[in-house]
A and B are shown apart, each in its own frame.
Chain A
Protein backbone atom coordinates (compact mmCIF):
# COMPACT_ATOMS: atom_id res chain seq x y z
CA UNK A 1 0.00 0.00 0.00
CA UNK A 2 1.07 3.59 -0.31
CA UNK A 3 0.55 6.53 2.02
CA UNK A 4 -2.49 8.73 1.55
CA UNK A 5 -1.85 12.28 0.41
CA UNK A 6 -0.73 14.87 2.94
CA UNK A 7 0.64 18.38 3.09
CA UNK A 8 4.39 18.11 3.62
CA UNK A 9 6.26 20.57 5.82
CA UNK A 10 10.00 20.64 6.38
CA UNK A 11 10.95 23.15 9.08
CA UNK A 12 14.59 24.11 9.50
CA UNK A 13 14.37 25.07 13.15
CA UNK A 14 12.58 24.09 16.33
CA UNK A 15 10.74 27.43 16.32
CA UNK A 16 9.40 26.77 12.81
CA UNK A 17 8.34 23.27 13.81
CA UNK A 18 6.51 24.55 16.89
CA UNK A 19 4.75 27.20 14.84
CA UNK A 20 3.54 24.53 12.43
CA UNK A 21 2.36 22.32 15.26
CA UNK A 22 0.43 25.21 16.75
CA UNK A 23 -1.23 26.18 13.48
CA UNK A 24 -1.96 22.87 11.81
CA UNK A 25 -4.78 20.49 12.47
CA UNK A 26 -4.21 16.76 12.26
CA UNK A 27 -0.42 16.93 12.00
CA UNK A 28 2.11 14.18 12.73
CA UNK A 29 5.80 14.72 13.23
CA UNK A 30 8.08 12.42 11.21
CA UNK A 31 11.54 11.73 12.59
CA UNK A 32 13.17 8.40 11.65
CA UNK A 33 9.90 7.21 10.17
CA UNK A 34 10.55 3.56 11.00
CA UNK A 35 7.24 3.26 12.82
CA UNK A 36 5.27 6.12 11.31
CA UNK A 37 5.97 5.29 7.65
CA UNK A 38 4.98 1.68 8.24
CA UNK A 39 1.64 2.84 9.62
CA UNK A 40 1.20 5.36 6.83
CA UNK A 41 2.03 2.82 4.13
CA UNK A 42 -0.77 0.68 5.50
CA UNK A 43 -3.01 3.72 5.92
CA UNK A 44 -3.42 2.75 9.55
CA UNK A 45 -2.74 6.41 10.05
CA UNK A 46 -3.37 9.12 7.47
CA UNK A 47 -2.47 12.54 8.84
CA UNK A 48 -3.41 15.59 6.80
CA UNK A 49 -0.09 17.20 7.61
CA UNK A 50 3.37 15.73 7.98
CA UNK A 51 6.05 17.74 9.72
CA UNK A 52 9.49 16.43 8.79
CA UNK A 53 12.01 17.41 11.49
CA UNK A 54 15.02 15.63 9.96
CA UNK A 55 16.61 18.92 8.97
CA UNK A 56 16.68 20.35 12.50
CA UNK A 57 20.30 19.79 13.46
CA UNK A 58 19.82 21.32 16.88
CA UNK A 59 17.72 18.31 17.85
CA UNK A 60 20.43 15.80 17.04
CA UNK A 61 23.02 16.58 19.68
CA UNK A 62 24.29 14.55 22.62
CA UNK A 63 25.68 16.79 25.34
CA UNK A 64 26.85 16.55 28.93
CA UNK A 65 26.26 19.49 31.23
CA UNK A 66 26.78 19.66 34.94
CA UNK A 67 26.65 15.91 35.33
CA UNK A 68 23.56 15.49 33.18
CA UNK A 69 23.43 13.78 29.84
CA UNK A 70 21.08 15.28 27.33
CA UNK A 71 20.13 13.35 24.21
CA UNK A 72 18.39 15.30 21.45
CA UNK A 73 15.22 13.69 20.16
CA UNK A 74 16.59 13.44 16.62
CA UNK A 75 19.72 11.51 17.62
CA UNK A 76 19.68 8.43 15.42
CA UNK A 77 19.85 5.13 17.28
CA UNK A 78 22.91 4.24 15.22
CA UNK A 79 24.67 7.46 16.22
CA UNK A 80 23.79 6.81 19.84
CA UNK A 81 25.42 3.38 19.55
CA UNK A 82 28.56 4.95 18.12
CA UNK A 83 28.69 7.85 20.61
CA UNK A 84 31.81 7.70 22.79
CA UNK A 85 30.00 9.72 25.46
CA UNK A 86 27.09 7.30 25.70
CA UNK A 87 29.35 4.28 25.50
CA UNK A 88 31.24 5.61 28.49
CA UNK A 89 28.34 6.93 30.55
CA UNK A 90 25.31 4.83 29.62
CA UNK A 91 26.33 1.24 28.91
CA UNK A 92 22.78 0.08 29.64
CA UNK A 93 21.54 2.11 26.70
CA UNK A 94 24.28 0.77 24.44
CA UNK A 95 23.39 -2.81 25.35
CA UNK A 96 19.70 -2.12 24.69
CA UNK A 97 20.34 -0.36 21.38
CA UNK A 98 21.90 -3.49 19.96
CA UNK A 99 18.59 -5.25 20.44
CA UNK A 100 16.44 -2.60 18.81
CA UNK A 101 15.28 -3.69 15.35
CA UNK A 102 18.04 -4.06 12.83
CA UNK A 103 21.01 -2.09 11.58
CA UNK A 104 18.86 -0.64 8.78
CA UNK A 105 16.16 0.61 11.14
CA UNK A 106 18.69 2.00 13.62
CA UNK A 107 20.35 3.95 10.82
CA UNK A 108 17.19 6.04 10.54
CA UNK A 109 15.25 5.49 13.73
CA UNK A 110 15.70 8.05 16.49
CA UNK A 111 15.87 8.03 20.26
CA UNK A 112 13.03 10.55 20.53
CA UNK A 113 10.90 8.71 18.01
CA UNK A 114 10.95 5.56 20.08
CA UNK A 115 9.85 7.52 23.17
CA UNK A 116 7.11 9.41 21.32
CA UNK A 117 5.77 6.30 19.62
CA UNK A 118 5.86 4.40 22.91
CA UNK A 119 5.36 0.84 21.73
CA UNK A 120 4.78 -1.32 24.83
CA UNK A 121 7.71 -3.53 23.82
CA UNK A 122 10.15 -0.71 23.12
CA UNK A 123 13.53 -0.97 24.82
CA UNK A 124 14.43 2.69 25.25
CA UNK A 125 11.55 3.64 27.56
CA UNK A 126 12.71 0.98 30.00
CA UNK A 127 16.30 2.19 29.74
CA UNK A 128 15.23 5.75 30.47
CA UNK A 129 12.96 4.58 33.26
CA UNK A 130 15.87 2.86 34.98
CA UNK A 131 17.82 6.12 34.68
CA UNK A 132 14.94 8.26 36.06
CA UNK A 133 15.10 10.36 32.91
CA UNK A 134 13.17 13.53 32.23
CA UNK A 135 11.59 14.29 28.87
CA UNK A 136 11.81 17.82 27.53
CA UNK A 137 8.86 19.08 25.53
CA UNK A 138 8.38 22.34 23.71
CA UNK A 139 5.43 24.08 22.14
CA UNK A 140 4.68 27.53 20.80
CA UNK A 141 3.41 28.31 24.31
CA UNK A 142 6.53 27.34 26.16
CA UNK A 143 8.35 24.32 27.44
CA UNK A 144 7.68 21.64 29.98
CA UNK A 145 9.35 18.60 31.45
CA UNK A 146 7.82 15.22 32.10
CA UNK A 147 9.52 12.64 34.30
CA UNK A 148 9.63 9.26 32.58
CA UNK A 149 7.39 7.77 35.27
CA UNK A 150 4.51 9.95 34.07
CA UNK A 151 5.20 9.69 30.35
CA UNK A 152 2.96 6.77 29.47
CA UNK A 153 -0.74 7.65 29.65
CA UNK A 154 -2.05 4.56 27.92
CA UNK A 155 -1.52 2.39 24.90
CA UNK A 156 0.99 4.24 22.68
CA UNK A 157 -0.20 7.46 24.26
CA UNK A 158 2.54 9.54 25.83
CA UNK A 159 1.92 12.76 27.73
CA UNK A 160 2.48 14.76 24.57
CA UNK A 161 -0.09 17.29 23.41
CA UNK A 162 -0.81 17.59 19.67
CA UNK A 163 1.00 20.94 19.57
CA UNK A 164 4.08 19.74 21.46
CA UNK A 165 7.42 18.45 20.27
CA UNK A 166 9.70 16.15 22.25
CA UNK A 167 13.06 17.89 22.01
CA UNK A 168 15.37 15.94 24.32
CA UNK A 169 15.69 13.36 27.04
CA UNK A 170 17.94 14.14 29.98
CA UNK A 171 19.24 11.98 32.80
CA UNK A 172 22.00 11.72 35.31
CA UNK A 173 24.39 8.91 34.40
CA UNK A 174 25.20 6.36 37.08
CA UNK A 175 28.68 6.54 38.57
CA UNK A 176 31.61 4.91 36.81
CA UNK A 177 31.91 1.22 37.66
CA UNK A 178 28.17 0.66 38.04
CA UNK A 179 26.75 -2.65 36.87
CA UNK A 180 24.22 -2.76 34.06
CA UNK A 181 22.27 -5.37 32.10
CA UNK A 182 19.62 -5.23 29.42
CA UNK A 183 18.10 -8.56 28.47
CA UNK A 184 14.99 -9.39 26.51
CA UNK A 185 13.26 -12.40 25.04
CA UNK A 186 12.36 -12.14 21.38
CA UNK A 187 11.64 -15.02 19.06
CA UNK A 188 14.21 -13.83 16.57
CA UNK A 189 16.97 -11.29 16.93
CA UNK A 190 15.47 -7.88 16.27
CA UNK A 191 11.86 -8.92 16.78
CA UNK A 192 9.66 -7.06 19.22
CA UNK A 193 10.47 -8.34 22.68
CA UNK A 194 7.90 -10.42 24.53
CA UNK A 195 9.35 -8.97 27.72
CA UNK A 196 12.64 -7.47 28.79
CA UNK A 197 14.46 -6.16 31.82
CA UNK A 198 16.84 -3.24 32.33
CA UNK A 199 18.91 -3.31 35.52
CA UNK A 200 21.39 -0.92 37.09
CA UNK A 201 23.30 -1.69 40.29
CA UNK A 202 25.97 -0.01 42.34
CA UNK A 203 27.71 -1.71 45.23
CA UNK A 204 29.30 -0.09 48.25
CA UNK A 205 32.76 -0.99 49.50
CA UNK A 206 31.38 -3.86 51.56
CA UNK A 207 29.82 -5.36 48.46
CA UNK A 208 26.29 -4.45 49.46
CA UNK A 209 23.80 -2.98 47.01
CA UNK A 210 23.95 0.75 47.38
CA UNK A 211 21.44 1.49 44.67
CA UNK A 212 19.39 -0.63 42.28
CA UNK A 213 17.01 0.21 39.47
CA UNK A 214 14.98 -2.32 37.53
CA UNK A 215 12.60 -1.42 34.71
CA UNK A 216 10.64 -3.84 32.57
CA UNK A 217 9.37 -3.57 29.03
CA UNK A 218 6.70 -5.51 27.22
CA UNK A 219 4.57 -6.13 30.28
CA UNK A 220 2.37 -3.05 30.38
CA UNK A 221 1.48 0.03 28.33
CA UNK A 222 4.67 1.76 29.42
CA UNK A 223 7.90 0.77 31.20
CA UNK A 224 7.39 -0.62 34.70
CA UNK A 225 9.79 0.15 37.55
CA UNK A 226 10.01 -2.64 40.10
CA UNK A 227 10.11 -0.47 43.24
CA UNK A 228 9.33 -3.44 45.44
CA UNK A 229 12.29 -5.39 44.09
CA UNK A 230 14.55 -2.39 44.49
CA UNK A 231 13.48 -2.03 48.11
CA UNK A 232 14.25 -5.70 48.77
CA UNK A 233 17.73 -5.33 47.35
CA UNK A 234 18.74 -2.12 49.08
CA UNK A 235 21.63 -2.59 51.50
CA UNK A 236 21.89 -6.32 50.86
CA UNK A 237 24.73 -8.36 49.45
CA UNK A 238 23.54 -9.63 46.09
CA UNK A 239 23.20 -13.41 46.16
CA UNK A 240 21.30 -15.94 44.14
CA UNK A 241 18.48 -16.35 46.67
CA UNK A 242 17.96 -12.64 47.24
CA UNK A 243 17.96 -11.92 43.53
CA UNK A 244 15.51 -14.71 42.84
CA UNK A 245 13.22 -13.39 45.56
CA UNK A 246 13.44 -9.83 44.23
CA UNK A 247 12.77 -11.08 40.71
CA UNK A 248 9.50 -12.58 41.91
CA UNK A 249 8.19 -9.02 42.22
CA UNK A 250 7.94 -9.03 38.45
CA UNK A 251 5.12 -11.53 38.77
CA UNK A 252 2.78 -8.74 39.82
CA UNK A 253 2.97 -6.81 36.55
CA UNK A 254 -0.21 -6.39 34.52
CA UNK A 255 1.14 -8.28 31.55
CA UNK A 256 -0.08 -7.98 27.99
CA UNK A 257 -2.20 -10.57 26.24
CA UNK A 258 -1.86 -10.82 22.46
CA UNK A 259 -1.22 -13.24 19.60
CA UNK A 260 2.46 -13.52 20.49
CA UNK A 261 2.16 -14.46 24.15
CA UNK A 262 -0.34 -14.67 26.96
CA UNK A 263 -0.34 -12.41 30.01
CA UNK A 264 0.87 -15.28 32.16
CA UNK A 265 3.72 -16.19 29.85
CA UNK A 266 4.92 -12.61 29.76
CA UNK A 267 4.87 -12.50 33.55
CA UNK A 268 6.96 -15.65 33.69
CA UNK A 269 9.45 -14.20 31.24
CA UNK A 270 9.51 -10.98 33.23
CA UNK A 271 10.47 -12.90 36.39
CA UNK A 272 13.18 -14.92 34.65
CA UNK A 273 14.65 -11.94 32.83
CA UNK A 274 14.56 -9.76 35.92
CA UNK A 275 16.55 -12.41 37.72
CA UNK A 276 19.07 -12.76 34.89
CA UNK A 277 19.43 -9.01 34.49
CA UNK A 278 20.01 -8.55 38.22
CA UNK A 279 22.57 -11.35 38.27
CA UNK A 280 24.47 -9.92 35.33
CA UNK A 281 24.31 -6.35 36.59
CA UNK A 282 25.57 -7.47 40.02
CA UNK A 283 28.46 -9.38 38.50
CA UNK A 284 29.40 -6.39 36.43
CA UNK A 285 29.14 -4.07 39.40
CA UNK A 286 31.34 -6.39 41.44
CA UNK A 287 34.03 -6.51 38.83
CA UNK A 288 33.73 -2.75 38.46
CA UNK A 289 33.47 -3.38 34.74
CA UNK A 290 30.35 -1.25 34.30
CA UNK A 291 31.49 -0.23 30.86
Chain B
Protein backbone atom coordinates (compact mmCIF):
# COMPACT_ATOMS: atom_id res chain seq x y z
CA UNK B 1 0.00 0.00 0.00
CA UNK B 2 1.10 3.52 -0.70
CA UNK B 3 1.24 6.10 2.03
CA UNK B 4 2.05 9.74 1.38
CA UNK B 5 3.07 12.19 4.05
CA UNK B 6 4.35 15.70 3.91
CA UNK B 7 5.45 18.17 6.54
CA UNK B 8 7.34 21.41 6.88
CA UNK B 9 10.31 22.07 9.14
CA UNK B 10 11.62 25.50 9.95
CA UNK B 11 15.22 24.99 8.85
CA UNK B 12 16.61 25.55 5.35
CA UNK B 13 16.92 22.48 3.10
CA UNK B 14 20.64 21.86 3.54
CA UNK B 15 20.41 21.79 7.31
CA UNK B 16 17.21 19.77 7.23
CA UNK B 17 18.85 17.29 4.88
CA UNK B 18 21.85 16.95 7.14
CA UNK B 19 19.66 16.25 10.12
CA UNK B 20 17.26 13.91 8.37
CA UNK B 21 19.99 11.77 6.88
CA UNK B 22 21.68 11.43 10.25
CA UNK B 23 19.74 8.34 11.22
CA UNK B 24 21.36 7.96 14.60
CA UNK B 25 20.40 11.51 15.42
CA UNK B 26 16.78 11.28 14.41
CA UNK B 27 15.99 7.68 15.44
CA UNK B 28 14.96 8.86 18.92
CA UNK B 29 12.44 11.13 17.23
CA UNK B 30 10.55 8.23 15.73
CA UNK B 31 7.94 7.21 18.34
CA UNK B 32 8.49 3.64 19.49
CA UNK B 33 11.75 3.18 17.59
CA UNK B 34 15.09 2.09 18.93
CA UNK B 35 18.34 1.74 17.04
CA UNK B 36 20.47 -1.19 18.12
CA UNK B 37 23.26 -1.37 15.57
CA UNK B 38 24.86 0.61 12.80
CA UNK B 39 26.29 -1.88 10.33
CA UNK B 40 28.55 -0.37 7.72
CA UNK B 41 28.02 3.10 6.39
CA UNK B 42 24.40 3.12 5.40
CA UNK B 43 22.72 0.21 7.19
CA UNK B 44 20.97 0.22 10.54
CA UNK B 45 19.38 -2.42 12.74
CA UNK B 46 16.69 -1.74 15.25
CA UNK B 47 13.09 -2.16 16.25
CA UNK B 48 9.90 -0.17 16.20
CA UNK B 49 6.76 -0.62 18.23
CA UNK B 50 3.59 0.59 16.57
CA UNK B 51 0.04 0.78 17.86
CA UNK B 52 -2.68 0.23 15.30
CA UNK B 53 -5.72 0.86 17.44
CA UNK B 54 -6.12 -2.12 19.76
CA UNK B 55 -3.20 -3.96 18.15
CA UNK B 56 0.37 -3.46 19.27
CA UNK B 57 3.11 -4.71 16.96
CA UNK B 58 6.86 -4.75 17.46
CA UNK B 59 9.00 -5.06 14.36
CA UNK B 60 12.65 -6.08 14.50
CA UNK B 61 14.66 -5.53 11.38
CA UNK B 62 16.97 -3.37 9.41
CA UNK B 63 17.02 -0.34 7.24
CA UNK B 64 19.46 1.05 4.71
CA UNK B 65 19.88 3.81 2.17
CA UNK B 66 19.62 2.39 -1.32
CA UNK B 67 19.74 5.73 -3.11
CA UNK B 68 20.95 9.09 -2.06
CA UNK B 69 21.39 12.41 -3.80
CA UNK B 70 22.85 15.03 -1.50
CA UNK B 71 22.52 17.69 -4.23
CA UNK B 72 18.89 17.19 -5.02
CA UNK B 73 18.02 16.28 -1.42
CA UNK B 74 16.35 13.03 -2.36
CA UNK B 75 16.88 9.56 -0.98
CA UNK B 76 15.38 6.12 -0.87
CA UNK B 77 15.44 3.82 2.10
CA UNK B 78 14.57 0.16 2.22
CA UNK B 79 13.47 -1.34 5.50
CA UNK B 80 12.25 -4.76 6.47
CA UNK B 81 11.14 -6.12 9.78
CA UNK B 82 9.71 -9.19 11.41
CA UNK B 83 6.70 -8.89 13.68
CA UNK B 84 7.26 -11.17 16.66
CA UNK B 85 6.21 -14.80 16.91
CA UNK B 86 5.36 -15.67 13.32
CA UNK B 87 2.98 -12.80 12.94
CA UNK B 88 4.48 -11.75 9.64
CA UNK B 89 6.82 -9.28 8.00
CA UNK B 90 6.75 -5.71 6.80
CA UNK B 91 8.79 -4.46 3.88
CA UNK B 92 8.93 -0.81 2.99
CA UNK B 93 10.46 1.34 0.35
CA UNK B 94 10.58 4.96 1.44
CA UNK B 95 11.35 7.77 -0.95
CA UNK B 96 11.82 11.18 0.57
CA UNK B 97 12.60 14.53 -0.96
CA UNK B 98 13.10 18.05 0.32
CA UNK B 99 12.02 21.24 -1.36
CA UNK B 100 12.62 24.75 -0.13
CA UNK B 101 9.64 26.60 1.25
CA UNK B 102 9.12 30.19 2.35
CA UNK B 103 9.80 29.56 5.99
CA UNK B 104 11.88 26.41 5.79
CA UNK B 105 11.74 23.11 4.01
CA UNK B 106 8.96 20.85 2.86
CA UNK B 107 9.70 17.18 3.39
CA UNK B 108 7.77 14.82 1.18
CA UNK B 109 7.66 11.12 1.97
CA UNK B 110 6.28 8.33 -0.17
CA UNK B 111 6.12 4.97 1.47
CA UNK B 112 5.41 1.72 -0.28
CA UNK B 113 4.46 -0.72 2.46
CA UNK B 114 4.05 -4.44 1.96
CA UNK B 115 2.74 -6.57 4.80
CA UNK B 116 2.97 -10.36 4.69
CA UNK B 117 1.66 -13.01 7.02
CA UNK B 118 -1.12 -12.52 9.55
CA UNK B 119 -0.28 -8.84 9.94
CA UNK B 120 -1.34 -8.32 6.33
CA UNK B 121 -4.91 -8.17 7.61
CA UNK B 122 -4.20 -4.75 9.11
CA UNK B 123 -3.37 -3.46 5.66
CA UNK B 124 -6.96 -3.88 4.62
CA UNK B 125 -8.03 -1.15 6.99
CA UNK B 126 -6.20 1.25 4.71
CA UNK B 127 -7.48 4.32 6.48
CA UNK B 128 -6.13 3.18 9.82
CA UNK B 129 -2.56 2.79 8.66
CA UNK B 130 -2.64 6.20 6.98
CA UNK B 131 -3.92 7.76 10.20
CA UNK B 132 -1.29 6.00 12.28
CA UNK B 133 1.42 7.09 9.83
CA UNK B 134 0.18 10.66 10.07
CA UNK B 135 0.25 10.54 13.86
CA UNK B 136 3.78 9.13 13.84
CA UNK B 137 4.91 11.82 11.41
CA UNK B 138 3.32 14.56 13.51
CA UNK B 139 5.19 13.40 16.60
CA UNK B 140 8.38 12.96 14.57
CA UNK B 141 8.11 16.47 13.18
CA UNK B 142 7.67 17.98 16.62
CA UNK B 143 10.79 16.23 17.84
CA UNK B 144 12.65 17.18 14.70
CA UNK B 145 11.80 20.84 15.23
CA UNK B 146 13.31 20.63 18.69
CA UNK B 147 16.46 19.19 17.13
CA UNK B 148 16.59 21.99 14.59
CA UNK B 149 16.22 24.63 17.25
CA UNK B 150 19.26 23.08 18.97
CA UNK B 151 21.26 23.05 15.72
CA UNK B 152 23.34 25.99 14.46
CA UNK B 153 21.10 28.55 12.77
CA UNK B 154 23.71 29.80 10.37
CA UNK B 155 23.92 26.77 8.03
CA UNK B 156 23.85 28.01 4.46
CA UNK B 157 22.70 26.39 1.28
CA UNK B 158 25.88 25.71 -0.71
CA UNK B 159 25.93 27.07 -4.28
CA UNK B 160 24.73 24.36 -6.69
CA UNK B 161 27.86 24.64 -8.80
CA UNK B 162 30.01 23.02 -6.12
CA UNK B 163 31.50 19.66 -6.89
CA UNK B 164 29.85 16.68 -5.31
CA UNK B 165 32.76 15.71 -3.16
CA UNK B 166 33.16 19.20 -1.75
CA UNK B 167 29.46 19.33 -1.04
CA UNK B 168 29.59 15.98 0.68
CA UNK B 169 32.42 17.25 2.84
CA UNK B 170 30.41 20.33 3.70
CA UNK B 171 27.40 18.23 4.75
CA UNK B 172 29.69 16.00 6.73
CA UNK B 173 31.02 19.05 8.50
CA UNK B 174 27.53 20.22 9.44
CA UNK B 175 26.68 16.78 10.76
CA UNK B 176 29.77 16.72 12.90
CA UNK B 177 29.01 20.20 14.16
CA UNK B 178 25.51 19.16 15.15
CA UNK B 179 26.80 15.97 16.68
CA UNK B 180 29.31 17.91 18.81
CA UNK B 181 26.68 20.44 19.77
CA UNK B 182 24.41 17.69 20.89
CA UNK B 183 27.16 16.02 22.85
CA UNK B 184 27.70 12.99 20.68
CA UNK B 185 31.09 11.99 19.26
CA UNK B 186 31.22 10.88 15.65
Contact = CB atoms under 8 A, between A and B. Distances in A.
Contacts of A28: 54
A48 B54 contact: no
Interface in B121-153: 121, 127-128, 131-132, 135
Given A117-B54, A154-B135, A44 B85 contact: no
Interface residues of B, number: 17
Nearest to A156: B53
B56 A39 contact: no
Contact of B51 (A39, A117, A157): A157
Contacts of A189: none
Interface in B41-87: 51-56, 58, 84-85, 87
Contact of B53 (A26, A36, A155, A257): A155
B85 A39 contact: no
Given A154-B135, A157-B51, A257-B127, A44 B56 contact: no
Contacts of B53: 154-157
B39 interface: no
Interface in B18-56: 51-56
A175 interface: no
B118 interface: yes
A207 interface: no
Nearest to B84: A26
A48 B85 CA distance: 9
A45 interface: yes
A117 B85 CA distance: 24
B56 A162 contact: yes
Given A26-B58, A35-B54, 5 more contacts: A26-B84, A45-B55, A153-B135, A154-B135, A156-B54
Interface of B: 51-56, 58, 84-85, 87, 118, 121, 127-128, 131-132, 135
